[in-house]
Amino acid sequence: MDRLTNGQRERVESLLAQMTLDEKIGQMNQESPSIVGGFDVPFTELIEMMTDGRISKEEFEKIMSTAKQDYHEDEIRRGGVGSLMVQDPVKVNELQKIAVEESRLGIPLIFGLDVIHGFRSVYPIAIAEAGSFDTDLMERTARMAAKESRASGVAWHFAPMLDVARDARWGRVSEGPGEDPYLGSLFARAKVRGLQNDRSSAENYVAACLKHYIGYGAAESGRDYNTVSMAMHVFYNNYLKPFEAAVDEGAQTVMAAFNDLNGVPCTVNRFLLRDILKDSLGFPGFVVSDANAIRECVVHGIAEDDEDAGVKAALAGMDMDMGTEIYFKHLKKAVEDGKVPVGVIDEAVRRILSVKMWLGLFDHPYVSEEAMNRYATLPDEHVRLAREAALKSIVLLKNEGGLLPLSRDRKISLVGNLADSREEIIGAWAMSWREEDCVSIRQGMEEMFPGTRYFPCGGPEGDIVMDDVLRAGEYGDVIVAVLGELVSMSGEASSRADISLPGRQRELLEMLLETGKPVVLVLMNGRPLALEWENLYVPAIVEGWQLGIEMGHAVASVLSGEFNPEGRLSSSFPAVTGMCPVYYNHMNTGRPASKSKFTSRYLDAPFDALYPFGYGLSYTQYEYSDLEVADAGDRLEISVTVRNTGSREGRETVQLYMQDAAASLVRPVKELRGFRKAELAPGQAKTVHFELKKSDMGFYDNERNYHLEDGLFRIFAGGSSRDCLAAEIRLKF
């Protein structure tokens, strides 16, 4: 790996030369603490059981207090473990001490964890943060998460999640940057930089893990873990792009996806792991399987038994086994039987040791006493960043008659169980947050609007409390209804076949509207929702996602107008679920949807997304004019003028799209190729300039040849993927 010094590389080689086969295979084994006693499941499974509601938080705590955890100390001592999932710094030090001082070669463990959108400070879920279109922010939140987790001994984040995701039924859309490969690639780069690049001290950075490699976001019908079939040109031009960008940025590790791609599970997919990732992209780090995925190759029907699965995975280029102990138990025999060359093992171990070396674990294996207490109270700087991220991720979807913002002396009836929750603002996968850091929407609203009164009324689950509805209608001069999804309704294993507001929430909205008071709908959710009805009847809609610890302050700030919303959608919202997958950069057809009969449309649903990618309103308005496109040799120079025609200062996200109008393969109707922020005072106009390199205007075919084809191109600029000015230009490459 190039990022090591010669001395470090020699150290890796000298260790490798001293290692027994058992010790080598030990490095390829990742364990998580198992709960022994009443409940015999891995710790991660137990966490999952709590997150998905199979057990309650109280039950979880009870199990944890009585059960004994097996941290695999003996295996560590024998050099049989390379990595563990642990986040308690005291435990980290204890286990690390065994590895460093009691194992024969003293190779440190690498502790990994799902730190998807923050560690102690939790930021907006990724689908929301991507909508900030603010790459500097994305980098800063990653850097802060790295610092916080490293102070707990977690040196490896199973993040960023880079799955291009276009089907909102899939619960894991929440964890990634949305539907667009260009925005996804910038997000990927920003996250890798943030996690990895501040190497001024071993305490400031972690190794990123790009996941899930690859195609997981295209699971058929949005059902988690489902099969994935896609044309290779779609794969190269879309799904591979963010991974390619992140590898180029120096990402240290990759996690293979659960799904098969065109018939071969990613876990044992030599073409994906070796040919594309390691050979063609030159990825120097190591690949870890997803949890239990090697064993699942048996169920998948691709391996006869555990050993067969382990052999296939190792040969395909899978360097580390997450959670099954199949390598630990079967790989030695497979090598001795000649099924796996020892060179394959050496390559994997070299990669793993190199990442540990790069992380400084050999020289700084422990968490210092000072680091452990560093964030006893969350520093202001961390809270401020969480608030900034939350503010910039909120998307104003509708604002009829300028109902918003609300003046601070309004009497507000705040409605919805979600409004009073500190847990539901956090989003799937966050595990290290503390309740004391969280600001619920209720708290934020009460601080901002002294005339707020809270009437729970109902939520994603359970019944409607009629008394509350009546009282809410009587009290406020405006109703703010916080509705949406529970955290457990998105994330892993949380696909939904109907993505409208769950439970009786639409009915609740109807009742609230019947009170005659104006209703503002604030959404809390982990995926795009189907909001056709809400868009028709509710005058103001704010997309609040799950924004992390500062959600309450951020929502109140937007509702009061203290902050002028500027967030955009990183994923299109369908009008109804049956339109899924819906995404702006879809392929053209010979019969694009129109009102006439024989076109590509539904009889019973609109043909456009309800709210498209890039969409988001502000308390001011913008007008675009003068789109100009000039051929400047190796690039296009593009300019467009944007004017703030409203009465408030605002920050507009000016977006640039292109279309290859006639190519040897069908191309998308639009593709994002750039964006810029424009800060505009009322009445002010600015001309925004873009440079589009011609070399970036091509596409890959099914054999991964890159094409730049002469001919007609369309260039679009505007405030969303739908509302754009268009120009045409003929190009010769």
Q: Which residues are at the interface with ligand BGC (CB under 6 A)?
A: 44, 114, 158, 211, 290-291, 492
User: Minimal distance in Å, beta carbon 391 to ligand BGC?
Assistant: 28
Nearer to ligand BGC by Cβ, of 167 and 492: the residue is 492
Nearer to ligand BGC by Cβ, of 177 and 460: the residue is 177
Proportion of the chain in helix, strand, coil states, percent, rounded to 5: 35, 20, 45
Is residue 540 a contact partner of residue 512, using CB atoms and an 8 Å limit? no
User: Residue 407 gets which letter from DSSP?
Assistant: P
Q: Is 106 left (phi over 0), alpha (psi -120 to 50) or beta?
A: left
Locate 129 and state its tokens.
């943060």
Nearer to ligand BGC by Cβ, of 388 and 492: the residue is 492
User: Minimal distance in Å, beta carbon 324 to ligand BGC?
Assistant: 12
Measured in whole angstroms, the distance separating CA 261 from the mean position of its chain's CA atoms is 21
In 3D space, the residue among 209, 89, 85, 205 whose CA is nearest the CA of residue 147 turns out to be 205
Locate 573 and state its tokens.
């919202």
User: Minimal distance in Å, beta carbon 211 to ligand BGC?
Assistant: 6
Nearer to ligand BGC by Cβ, of 244 and 290: the residue is 290
Phi, psi for residue 653 in degrees, rounded to 5: -100, 105
CA atoms of 257 and 601, how far apart (whole Å): 33
Nearer to ligand BGC by Cβ, of 211 and 422: the residue is 211
Is residue 508 a contact partner of residue 473, using CB atoms and an 8 Å limit? no
Nearer to ligand BGC by Cβ, of 115 and 482: the residue is 115
Sign of CA dihedral 516, 520, 524, 528: positive
User: Minimal distance in Å, beta carbon 30 to ligand BGC?
Assistant: 9
Q: How many CA atoms lie within 13 Å of 30's alpha carbon, on the beta-carbon side?
A: 28
β-bridge partners, 398: 541
Nearer to ligand BGC by Cβ, of 196 and 560: the residue is 196
User: Minimal distance in Å, beta carbon 491 to ligand BGC?
Assistant: 9
Residues 6+ apart with CB under 8 A from 435: 422, 423
User: Minimal distance in Å, beta carbon 576 to ligand BGC?
Assistant: 29
User: Minimal distance in Å, beta carbon 323 to ligand BGC?
Assistant: 8
User: Minimal distance in Å, beta carbon 45 to ligand BGC?
Assistant: 9
Q: Using H for helix, E for strand and C for coil, what is the string for 278-334?
A: HHHCCCCCEEECCCCHHHHHHHCCCCCCHHHHHHHHHHHCCCEEECCCHHHHHHHHH
E strand map for 525-562 = 540-543
Sheet holding 724-731, edge to edge: 671-680, 650-660, 711-718, 724-731
User: Minimal distance in Å, beta carbon 85 to ligand BGC?
Assistant: 7
One DSSP character per residue, 239-256 reads ISHHHHHHHHTT--EEEE
Q: Is residue 393 helix, strand or coil? A: helix
In the residue annotation, 634 being an active-site residue is answered as no
Nearer to ligand BGC by Cβ, of 291 and 385: the residue is 291
Q: At how many degrees (to 10) do helices 181-196 and 241-248 cross?
A: 30
User: Residue 511 gets which letter from DSSP?
Assistant: H
Nearer to ligand BGC by Cβ, of 29 and 720: the residue is 29
Q: Using H for helix, E for strand and C for coil, what is the string for 7-19?
A: HHHHHHHHHHHHC
* Active-site hit among 114, 134, 180, 290: 290
Catalytic residues: 290
